Structure 1
Amino acid sequence: MRLSRPFFQIPVLFDVARLQAEVAALPGEAWVAHPDRLPGNSAARLISAGGGETDAVHGQMLATRWLQSMPYLQQVLAGFGVVWSRSRLMRLAAGADVPEHADINYHWHTRVRVHIPVFTQPAVRFHCDGEAVHMAAGEAWIFDNWRRHHVENRASAERIHLVADTTGTAAFWRLACGPTPPRAQWRTLAWDPGASPELLTEDGQRSPVMPAAEAQWLIDDLCAELAITDDTAAARARAARFGKLLESFLFDWRQLCALHGVGGRGLEDFRRLAGAVREAAGPLAEGLVMRTNDASALLVLEKRVLQHLVVD
């Protein structure tokens, strides 16, 4: 999700000793390799599709057996009062990095990632769009993952963060991005052995076809970010044709939604239109990138829109 600046620290604190005790108690089998096999990166799944050992971002999100064994982490997540999507413990080995990237997938258009450091040292630095911060243990942070970002662990020990994805309630966004009170006034969520927290998780169900209003929203957002890498007459003309192509696609998608609805009828018609715009966009998108993060416009169109127009 795009934010008005790279980092926001949420004015709330957590019991570091309790966090560390619960994480340290996890068995080795809880930790799995990063989905992209990044060296030195591993994770323990806390909320996942069906509560299983998967990194999928679609489906009914449920607590895994690992989270069920961690009562304080459940209290931490429930304490935000938001609905959670995929959430994990992310471990970065000493000397390892998270390579620079931007999160352009559909999942991230409306979601932000909350970071709560559990084990860390000052030599761990989180970089985003030219700024760098150290997130201290027991703090809570969000960042603009549409911008390019990376992490460096130059410490002598591994770094472990609780990372949890949410769209956030209005109250969450007021807390996260509103005026920050003095640190002495921040709330600390203490461990409560008698608590029975209610963990809210995403249902994950989508209509088989993306509604026309959502397609319009996603493409309008993409077009507002378009930039030309080489400002020539030919490049400007291609960009104009690219915009017209997407405009025409939206007219036709809206008509198909009016004809078939979004409940699953006429799927071949929808797939045919999506395939046609995918094929036509390739040559027109040459030299087009996103202004904020330099991601390829064609890649963003594919990952944020085209792959999600029809749910198989």
Structure 2
Amino acid sequence: MSEALPAYARLPQRFAIEPLLAALNELPTEAWSAHFNGSFYDGDWSGVSLLGPAEAHGALVPAQGQSVRPSIPSRWHTPFWPALLASIASPISSARLLRLGPGACIREHRDPDLGDPQGDVRLHIPILTHPAVEFVLDGQAIPMQPGEFWFLDLSRPHRVDNRSERARIHLVLDVARNAWLREQIAAGLADTPTVTPARSTRAFADFRARAHADPQLFARLARHSDAQAFAEEAVRLGAELGLDFSLDDVRSAMRAGRNSWSTQWKA
């Protein structure tokens, strides 16, 4: 499947949440390992690898074209997870339970390997979530609910904020592109919920409007010639106004405008 894919789609397949929760609760605390990409997150981002590369060099590393094998230790093995994976009609190269702890965040990044038109794509099955968890893809909040099945093009900019007091846990799969997946995405697009800009994206849009209308606020931003200092000042000034957005929101806007939003202040 080499044609262009949408940014996201809720697939038709659904998963009963009670068996998912029961299987999740059978895993002991020691089954969870910290995510290998420590530069991308703050707080607890951890997981359990169910299926991964045969020659893994660390916990939770996806296969990315390597041969795969079950990776959960036999002492924690139950028939539930293999049966669930067998219900997905596309070759799976990686299956991981990924947990984002209370108050934790995954900073904005891209997964460029997922943009290969001949490579794997990523699917999510939410198991535990909360209204205060926000998965942001290209500035849009993706409203994933427990038991749903989602395709996400994570070669695009994305981040996750867990502002709740409970862990967010998803089953995350890397699967091959095939006719079944193409059909699932096409069928799912017709039933995918409408997405809206993320809370922080809306807050930053409000801040930008105020900055353009307020000469004093404009001047406080304009004194910063360095992009990092400019972004940090924007976040600080936003907080003073009760507008909660992040450095990622500012940087994303700067990239989208080829840095014009910061350089315009120097004109």
TM more than 0.5? yes
Deviation readout 1:270-307 (Å, 9 max, x if unpaired)? xxxxxxxxxxxxxxxxxxxxxxx88xxxxxxxxxxxxx
- Cross-structure match for 2:123: 114
Identical amino acids, percent of aligned pairs: 30
CA contact (8 A) 1:122 1:136 kept: no
Q: Which runs of 4 or more aligned residues in structure 1 lie more than 6 Å from their structure 2 counterparts after TM superposition?
A: none
**What residue identity is the alignment partner of 1:97?**
C
Aligned to 1:46: 50
Give yes or no for contact 2:129–2:146 (8 Å, CA) kept in 1. yes
TM-fit CA distance, 1:70 = 3.2
SS for the counterpart of 2:83 is helix
In the alignment, which residue of structure 1 is the partner of 2:20?
Answer: 19
Match of 1:88 in 2: 96
Cα 1:16–1:56, aligned 2, differ >3 Å: closer, same or farther?
closer
Residues 1-312 of structure 1 aligned to structure 2 (within 5 Å): 4-37=5-38, 38-39=41-42, 40-50=44-54, 54=59, 55=61, 57=63, 58-66=65-73, 69-105=77-113, 108-109=115-116, 110-178=119-187
The Cα of 1:93 is off from its aligned counterpart by: 0.4
Q: Which runs of 5+ in 1 are unaligned?
A: 184-292, 295-312
* CA–CA separation in structure 2 for the residues paired with 1:143 and 1:22: 24
Give the deviation of 1:165 after TM superposition. Answer: 0.1
For each residue in 1:172-226, what CA deviation from the matched residue of structure 2 results, as whole angstroms up to 9, or x when unmatched? Answer: 211122365769xxxxxxxxxxxxxxxxxxxxxxxxxxxxxxxxxxxxxxxxxxx
In 1, are the aligned partners of 2:10 and 2:191 still within 8 Å (CA)? Answer: no
Q: 1:99–1:28: structure 2 CA closer, same or farther, 3 Å change rule? A: same
Whole-angstrom CA distance in 1 between matches of 2:3 and 2:51:
23
Deviations along 1:26-79, whole A, 9 cap, x unmatched?
A: 112211011112331111111112286642525320112358723222222111
- What is the alpha-carbon distance in structure 2 between the residues aligned to residue 51 and residue 20 of structure 1? 30
Amino acid at match of 2:91: V
Where 2:36 maps in the other structure, the secondary structure is coil
CA contact (8 A) 1:87 1:163 kept: yes
1:95 partner SS: coil
Deviation of 1:123 (Å): 1.6
CA distance in structure 1 between the aligned counterparts of 2:80 and 2:121, rounded to whole angstroms: 22
Check 1:64–1:26 CA distance in 2 against 1; reply closer, same or farther (3 A cut): same
Name the aligned partner's letter for residue 134 of structure 1.
P
Secondary structure class of the residue paired with 1:178: helix
Rounded Cα–Cα distance in structure 1 between residues aligned with 2:18 and 2:73: 18
User: Contact 2:51 / 2:72 at 8 angstroms: preserved in 1?
Assistant: no
TM-score (norm 2): 0.62
Over 3 Å counting, the alpha-carbon distance change for 1:179 and 1:27 in structure 2 is closer
Partners of 1:167 and 1:152 lie apart in 2 by 28
> In structure 2, how many angstroms separate the alpha carbons of the residues matched to 1:157 and 1:2?
38
SS in 2 for 1:13: coil
Q: Please identify the structure whose Cα radius of gyration is greater.
A: 1
| Change in CA separation of 1:182 and 1:165 when aligned onto 2, cut-off 3 Å | closer
